Structure 1
Amino acid sequence: MTLAVGVLSAAHPHSDAYADVLADRDDVDLAGVADPDADRARAFADRHGTEYVDDADALLAAVDAAVICAPNADHRAWFDRAAAADVDVLCEKPLATTVDDARAMVERWRESDITAGVAMPLRFCEPARRVKDALEAGDVGDIRSISGTNRGQMPGGWFADPDAAGAGAVMDHTVHIVDLVLALTGEPVVEVYAELGTRFHDVPVDDVNVLSMELADGTPLLLDGSWSRPDAWHTWGDATLELTGTDGTVALDYTDQSLTYTVDAGPDAGVETAFYGTDANAALIDDFLASVREGTDPAITPDDGLRAVAVVEAALASAERCEPVAVTE
């Protein structure tokens, strides 16, 4: 059976990656894009061989599932609209900009019959799968500490608008690593101490953050999730994790699945990277579409999205109060 899938806003740059995956599948019809920004939607539709639908309700009536790629603050409105139309939905991360909105989305999901997922794809990459295998085999022993990074380039646009994004790098990057740690260890974050700042860019949101966290079992987790990579960096950034246990240490680096090389002449001179690893976005889409077909929950549900948003909200409160803050969810 072919599934008709729509895109609800093309505001997030990840929308292009998801559309590429969907358009390449024989079992999916990329049915169109709805977006309040008509110029953005038409450009997206032209890039991906689909159509701009100026009536979002008409698109929702025509599709089986949809991917929300709106600015963070608009996720709840699009989610509610999809749920009202009984359309299964994959929502870009973070699920929402506040715990209250994220909780309302979870409640809407539970009250509806829709399948709903959150786009936090790191747990699908091959390095993460290998670390999971090592942990389950007991190769590391009891975990004593975890440290990670999710350092990237400043994306600009609405990401630097506190009303549209909710915050800066701490909102953009924390959720990925928190979700990955939960997937690997089964332990949620229960407390956060955060230091935030704006040091690299002239923006009204944070571009630097260092989070010192504690998991439910007492394990410390340290994260640098800053927008600290320069515009000329040879990748979009990094996503790393190192877990130290009583019997060993295991580490993963999402961007390690790549070949770095130098171009010594011409307009493209400089260091470049060719990525050859797991397409985590494709695996995320695979998981979501399988859940839609089977009527089951995907690997990452709105519950997981709520937990991640709660960590970000605690980090923002911690930075403001200069003290550790408990995670309420």
Structure 2
Amino acid sequence: MNKLKVGLISFAHGHANSYFESLRRMPEAEIIGIADEKHSRVEAVTERYGVPYFPDYRDLLATDADAVVICSENVHHARLTIEAARAKKHVLCEKPLGITAPEMEAMIAACRENGVQLMTAFPCRYLPAVADAKAAIDRGDIGEVVAIKGTNRGSNPGGWFTDRTLSGGGAVLDHTVHVMDLMNWMLGSAATEVYAYAGSRFGAGDIDDAGLVHVKFASGVFAVIDTSWSRPRAFPTWGDVTMEIVGTKGVITVDAFAQKNEAYSDVDGKASWSYWGDDMDELMIRDFVLALLSGRPVPVTGEDGLKSAAVALAAYESAKRGQPVSL
């Protein structure tokens, strides 16, 4: 069997653990190494599974890897992606794709110029409820879409996420991009205007942990996203992804993580959710690997990542000015 040789660069973002497990279970993929300047972040994984460890990511890029998965702090996405492209490696990059529009454009250009593909990690497209909603919209089940209300409300992740020098932004950047990508995907229309609020309301300090992002699309659709770290530590899980899609002939309500069991524990002292639905990370990783092996375009592009992150960046500008910002 022809296998895709994959390396992972940085486990700074927690999604790296899930992506590693998904790759490990795929017969079509071979993990050839993990690079991270902090050995402690990956030591347990490399020792348990005998995966080669690279203190310097450039040594991993010098191997015969076909592709790399980048889960570094946000500010390093552009540099790592551009260097990987120059080493002729395909790239799956964690969201947000970058922290400025020029650097994301440079990432896309570098991959194009070096004949490799760039995919943005947007696993929410693979959630069953989301995929079903997209299919219903495409069939015209609710007529023409008029408005969308979305949420991506999570817990404060702490660590480097609250350090602007590493993250590039707080909750608005972290949580706008997922639901914005779903809206872009479902509507097939460009965002033209953004009006937003961003602030600190839940104890994150000097970085935004709350936001409301209003978006106008070229098609005439209006949308709003609650993009916040508003969930307390006692909440059963990290957060949510919901959408209410209003059409001229009906409404679709999406609760992306509704496939769950609720458990109540005196030991834990709180409720917990045990998700039994399809693994969105595994489905996304599989699509990435199989697309590259078959020579097909990756399903979620760098351009997709740029379009979603551009809205988040415009939201910060709007919040600063106190008025709408055109895209």
Tell me which residue corresponds to 2:220: 218
8 A contact 1:148–1:223 mirrored in 2? yes
Distance 1:48 1:223, change over 3 A: farther
> In structure 2, what is the Cα distance between the partners aligned to 1:271 and 1:198?
27
8 A contact 2:143–2:248 mirrored in 1? yes
Which ranges of 4 or more aligned residues in structure 1 deviate by more than 6 Å? none
Q: Which shows bigger deviation, 194-203 or 165-174?
A: 194-203
> In structure 1, what is the Cα distance between the partners aligned to 2:224 and 2:204?
26
> In structure 2, what is the Cα distance between the partners aligned to 1:136 and 1:66?
33
Is the partner of 1:63 in helix, strand or coil?
Answer: coil
Q: Which shows bigger deviation, 301-310 or 53-62?
A: 53-62
* Residues 252-296 of structure 1: per-residue CA shift (max 9 Å, x gap): 111111121322x32x23211110112111111111111211222
Tell me which residue corresponds to 1:312: 312
Tell me which residue corresponds to 1:192: 194
Tell me which residue corresponds to 1:201: 203
Tell me which residue corresponds to 1:258: 260
Tell me which residue corresponds to 1:270: 270
8 A contact 2:170–2:208 mirrored in 1? yes
Tell me which residue corresponds to 2:13: 12
Identity, % of aligned positions: 38
> In structure 2, what is the Cα distance between the partners aligned to 1:129 and 1:218?
23
Q: Which runs of 5+ in 1 are unaligned?
A: none
TM-score after normalising by structure 1: 0.95
> In structure 2, what is the Cα distance between the partners aligned to 1:101 and 1:47?
36
Instruction: Write the mapping of 1:124-163 to structure 2, written as runs, cut at 5 A.
Output: 124-163=126-165
Matched, 1:53 2:81: no
* Residues 60-80 of structure 1: per-residue CA shift (max 9 Å, x gap): 223111100000000011101
Q: Which shows bigger deviation, 184-193 or 242-251?
A: 184-193
8 A contact 2:28–2:289 mirrored in 1? no
* Residues 207-264 of structure 1: per-residue CA shift (max 9 Å, x gap): 000011111111110110100011121111000111111110001111111121322x
8 A contact 2:108–2:118 mirrored in 1? no
Instruction: Write the mapping of 1:209-248 to structure 2, written as runs, cut at 5 A.
Output: 209-248=211-250
TM-score after normalising by structure 2: 0.96
Matched, 1:322 2:317: no
Is the partner of 1:227 in helix, strand or coil?
Answer: strand
Is the partner of 1:152 in helix, strand or coil?
Answer: strand
8 A contact 1:10–1:44 mirrored in 2? no
8 A contact 2:156–2:204 mirrored in 1? no
